[in-house]
Amino acid sequence: MDNLLKLFESMLRIRMVEEMIAERYSEQEMRCPTHFCLGQEAVPVGVSSHLRHTDYVYSGHRSHGHYLAKGGSLKAMVSELYGKETGCALGRGGSQHLNDLDAGFIASAPILGGTIPIAVGSVYSTKSNVTDKVSVVYFGDGATEEGIFHEALNFASVKKLPVIFVCENNLYSVHSSFDVRQPKDRNIADIGPAHKIPSVRANGNDVEEVMKIAGDAINRARDGGGPSLLEFMTYRWLEHCGPNKDLDLSYRTKEEMDEWLSKCPIKLFETKLYKKNILNKESRFRIEQKILKEINSAFEYAKKSPFPDPQTLFDYTYVKS
């Protein structure tokens, strides 16, 4: 019962953080491009429920949920969005360059597929010393069209590396639908067997299904069974980059949006918990107030934090001779 409540709280926390960032983004104090994961909270929460503190996690441009689910500091993340010295990248990276080494969230980067080979290389370098460490890398369906995706799968398969490739298939690469970018009637999970990698396609809006499938893959990797490719079907609620809705752009329909809104991962799981008497209105209110207090504290901390000293502009960028 406690584990189920933790799953719910973790998803709700990501949702509330994203909603607060979207609300405050219009104040124009957060100047970095920001990609929100509203609607996709079940995937990182279900996967991270099996991860240890020492496991590695990598992500791409839509990384907030992955970072928070792995235990990344909320204060450091919000400070980074404000470009403050207390940010996780010292105010120099913004939303798309989150990291928290203490939590095992190694890096996120906006280059499409850019962290996929890094995730593979990180466990290749430690495999001889740490046999039960796993590396998880999150990416969208668009990244599977990059050559490095296939090269990384091939190398991980050949070396039997403990890498979990997690594709969050939200049907769109910016504004391009899946059917105009990839072959008809082929699932991304179909690519795995070509590289002799176990693959699964599943409902990314069902946190319990995600948790079960990810658990099987992670346990197999820890036992020396090599990599897995997990394709989770999900949907982003907001525009590709930014805090607004984008139905006015006409690349997706209101009917499609309404269908996916009805599949909200948090609402679906919340309903299950109510039916099982694991959650009630009072306990939900307490969880929500606890999260809200943490969020408000993080934003207050970020706003009060200093900007980096302009004299340090080129620090960490170029090697000084």
Per-residue pLDDT tens for 64-107? 999 999 999 999 999 999 999 999 999 999 999 999 999 999 99
Token match 């441009």: residue? 61
The yes-or-no verdict on residue 61 having pLDDT over 70 is: yes
Judge residue 198's burial from the number of C-beta atoms within 10 Å of its C-beta, 0-12 exposed, 13-18 middle, 19 or more buried.
middle
Q: Mean pLDDT across the chain, nearest whole number?
A: 95
The three-state secondary structure class of 8 is: helix
Structure confidence at residue 231 as a pLDDT band (50, 70, 90): very high
Domains of the chain: 2-312 (3.40.50.970)
- Would you place residue 130 in the very low, low, confident or very high pLDDT band (cuts 50, 70, 90)? low
Q: Report pLDDT for 131.
A: 63
pTM of the model: 0.95
The HSE-up count of residue 198 (CA atoms within 13 Å, CB side) is 16
Mean pLDDT of 116-135: 83
Distances (CA, A) of 302 to 87, 99, 254, 295: 8, 16, 36, 11
3-state secondary structure of 231: strand
Residue 45, CA distances (Å) to 4, 67, 71, 214, 281 in order: 11, 10, 10, 10, 22
